[in-house]
Amino acid sequence: MEPVNLKRLAQELKLSVATVSRALNNSSSTSPATKARVVAMASKLKYEPNPHASSLRRHTSKTIGVILPEVANPFFSLVVNGIEEVARDQNYHVLLYLTHDNYEREVAITRLLVGGRIDGVLMSVASASQDFTHLDLLRERNIPTVFFDRVYDGLHTAQVTTDNCDSSYAATGHLIDNGCRTIAHLAVSNSLYIGRARTRGYAAALHDNRIPFDDELVRYAQPSQRQDVAMIQGLLQRRPDIDGIFASVESLAMSSYEACQNLGLSIVTAIKIIAFSNLEIATFLSPPLTTITNQRTLWAKPPPGYCLTQSWKTRRFQPATAWN
Amino acid sequence: MEPVNLKRLAQELKLSVATVSRALNNSSSTSPATKARVVAMASKLKYEPNPHASSLRRHTSKTIGVILPEVANPFFSLVVNGIEEVARDQNYHVLLYLTHDNYEREVAITRLLVGGRIDGVLMSVASASQDFTHLDLLRERNIPTVFFDRVYDGLHTAQVTTDNCDSSYAATGHLIDNGCRTIAHLAVSNSLYIGRARTRGYAAALHDNRIPFDDELVRYAQPSQRQDVAMIQGLLQRRPDIDGIFASVESLAMSSYEACQNLGLSIVTAIKIIAFSNLEIATFLSPPLTTITNQRTLWAKPPPGYCLTQSWKTRRFQPATAWN
DNA sequence: TTGAAAGCGGTACCAG
DNA sequence: CTGGTACCGCTTTCAA
């Protein structure tokens, strides 16, 4: 079975491969007549160009690498949706890699990408990362890189991020306004900018309301959801005075729900919970979860060094059981 | 700036590219000494092979294409997680394409993949698809294809699917056991095997319980969530005797919640809902949603033509408000 | 407007 | 065990 490639088309049409190639790329200087013949034959034989040959020759692959911690998370799946959508519109392809917040994986994946496989990288750094030298490789090889959400501020590139500090300040303030005085902060790694910014907003809100910052109330995400639940239960048992929880990511809010349920603590009356989240169904949760939601995921092309800021807003749900 | 490729390594080491290539692929016949030198130099210069050159020559790309309707869906994100995981373990790469249940997109994507970009395809067919000729292209070009969940049974390949018919029978039976007599079935396209199987189970359960099958009670998913809600509201208004809903996909369950809320209908007392779903938080929904959940996502290598069946089970939640 | 040919970066065959 | 070389499929000069 003859493969369908340029040579085959050329033979079939008694033309040279060069002409066929030009005709298909509607480049300059090809007579309309031959162009039509070529296109007709291509579609007849269902010709599809071999992208590897083309990438090799052109030094561009029309492919972007997307590196994420995970995809089973409403925020990241929204992101993947957005990326895939504009990529497809621009005739780009998306290579997806998941780190599962594992540093070694992130390093290994980064290394894979510098061989010319992709034209650019979109990345949300693993929360377990402390050392970012692997990312410098991207710069050395001149691979355009955009960080989003979980940003690495060491590399001087475009970033897509949110006003984490302000939103956290607002969220914590919201709990305080509703009577909370001992507020636990469930954070992600503080080696990441996003984590530090959210914690900063939390601390600032406490400070401005003359509530002392208590180190014991700040806890970090564990490797697994099960451990998160255990950690939160432990915290709530040690500190029965806790009356509010500010979860900086959605999964920690879910774990808090579970911990409260296990301990027989009533959410809303005993403890109020607020979280960064994109859960569409937050309103149907029992009780409804108050969330800080980013309004939409933007995908623009900011000039290098430019930081695109998304705004988040606190979404208040009005079902009967809501406390706000 | 010199590019780091085999030629560069060869120059640096005063060896031929052939030798360097062999050393790096630890193929036979390379002296341990030179091999060590080559590897050392490669890591010193941070050499990464150009995958396009390799793919071009070898006619394999170590890349698989994954075509899904969407990723913002707990089941599919679980699937993507699984695929990426084993792909990475086997040193394979994952190209992700989303159809958004759009037939034209699915056709366009399929066409893109037959040019040698990928070694194989994993696919869950768009529910809007009625014509599957585009999939025959995959067979013509000898591209291994595995369908999962939404299966196309016209192409004779490996499939990963679930015992849809049995589960639907059980789900419908569950509603009947709990007193429902007029059960609406919210289905996906019936041009898909999965849709037909689920409807078959529904119909069988009705039959075995001497409940007449009513065509008006079977409704299909609309292009958008908003339209789903409108469709369900319309149905519930036209047929106030409906006391149960069997949603064959999760989003239809969510839309049903919304429709009931809009109409002021009490879920559980007025209408009971059951659905195929992988929502982790189903238990926290208000009221908790009864789900048919697939126990785990399997990724094995079934021989061609073999159909791997996953088992689903009905998960019963015990919170106070649950009706089951 | 078209064709011949070089070459992208590896791989694999064959000779030494 | 190593080097020379053809070639994978396509793009892009350069000449005709």
The 10s digit of each residue's pLDDT in B205-260 is 999 999 999 999 999 988 888 899 999 999 999 999 999 999 888 788 888 888 98
Q: What pLDDT, in 10s, does the model give residues A150-180? A: 666 666 666 666 667 877 888 888 889 888 9
Nearest chain B Cα distance for residue A168, angstroms: 24
DSSP character at residue A134: H
- Beta bridge mates, B183: B244
Question: Does the structure show a pLDDT above 70 at B315?
Answer: no
Q: Three-state secondary structure along B267-292? A: ECCCEEEEEECCCHHHHHECCCCEEE
pLDDT bucket at B84, cuts 50 / 70 / 90 = very high
B212/B208 Cα distance (integer angstroms): 10
Residue B50 has a pLDDT of: 97
Contact check, Cβ <8 Å, B284/A279: no
A27/B158 Cα distance (integer angstroms): 42
Placement of tokens 């639940």 in the chain: A229
The kind and range of the H/E element at A66 are strand A63-68
Tokens of B312: 């689903």
- What residue type is assigned to position B204 of the chain? A
Question: Does the structure show a pLDDT above 60 at A318?
Answer: no
Least confident segment among A113-117, A181-185, A248-252? A248-252
Question: CA(B118)–C1'(D1) in Å?
Answer: 35
Contact check, Cβ <8 Å, B281/A74: no
User: A204 or B2, which is more confident?
Assistant: A204
A94 close to B (CB below 8 A) = yes
Helix-strand-coil percent breakdown of chain A, rounded to 5?
Answer: 45, 20, 40
Residue A308 has a pLDDT of: 34
B93/B57 Cα distance (integer angstroms): 18
Placement of tokens 């018919």 in the chain: B165
Q: Both ends of chain B: CA-CA distance in Å?
A: 69
User: A310 or A88, which is more confident?
Assistant: A88
Residue A171 has a pLDDT of: 83
Angle between helices B193-208 and B164-177 (to 10 degrees): 40
Average pLDDT, chain B: 81
E strand spans, chain B: 63-68, 93-98, 120-123, 145-148, 159-162, 183-187, 218-220, 244-247, 272-276, 290-294, 307-310, 312-315
Question: CA(A262)–C1'(D10) in Å?
Answer: 63
From B265, B50, B295, B286, select the one nearest B167 (Cα to Cα). B295
Nearest to B56 among A56, A72, A114 (CB): A56
Question: CA(A319)–C1'(D6) in Å?
Answer: 73
CB B284 within 8 A of CB B137: no
Residue A66 has a pLDDT of: 96
pLDDT bucket at B307, cuts 50 / 70 / 90 = very low
- The answer to whether A37 CB sits below 7 Å from nucleic acid chain C is no
- What residue type is assigned to position A268 of the chain? V
Least confident segment among A203-217, B159-173, B285-299? B285-299
- Beta bridge mates, A227: none
pLDDT bucket at A190, cuts 50 / 70 / 90 = confident
From A206, A216, A219, A293, select the one nearest A259 (Cα to Cα). A219
Domains of chain B: 6-49 (no CATH), 61-160 (3.40.50.2300), 164-294 (3.40.50.2300)
The verdict on whether omega for the bond into residue A32 sits within 30 degrees of 0, i.e. cis, is no
From A292, A298, A310, select the one nearest A168 (Cα to Cα). A292
CB A41 within 8 A of CB A13: yes
B296 close to A (CB below 8 A) = no
pLDDT bucket at B39, cuts 50 / 70 / 90 = very high
A116 close to B (CB below 8 A) = yes
Residue A51 has a pLDDT of: 98
Provide CB contacts within 8 A for B24, sequence distance 6+. Answer: B38, B39, B42, B47, B49
Question: Does the structure show a pLDDT above 50 at B15?
Answer: yes
Residue B73 has a pLDDT of: 77
Q: Both ends of chain A: CA-CA distance in Å?
A: 69
pLDDT bucket at B312, cuts 50 / 70 / 90 = very low
The kind and range of the H/E element at B55 are helix B51-58
Cα separation values, A107 from A26, A130, B40, B249, Å: 41, 12, 19, 38
DSSP, collapsed to helix, strand or coil, labels residue A78 as helix
Looking at residues B16-34, what average pLDDT do you find?
88
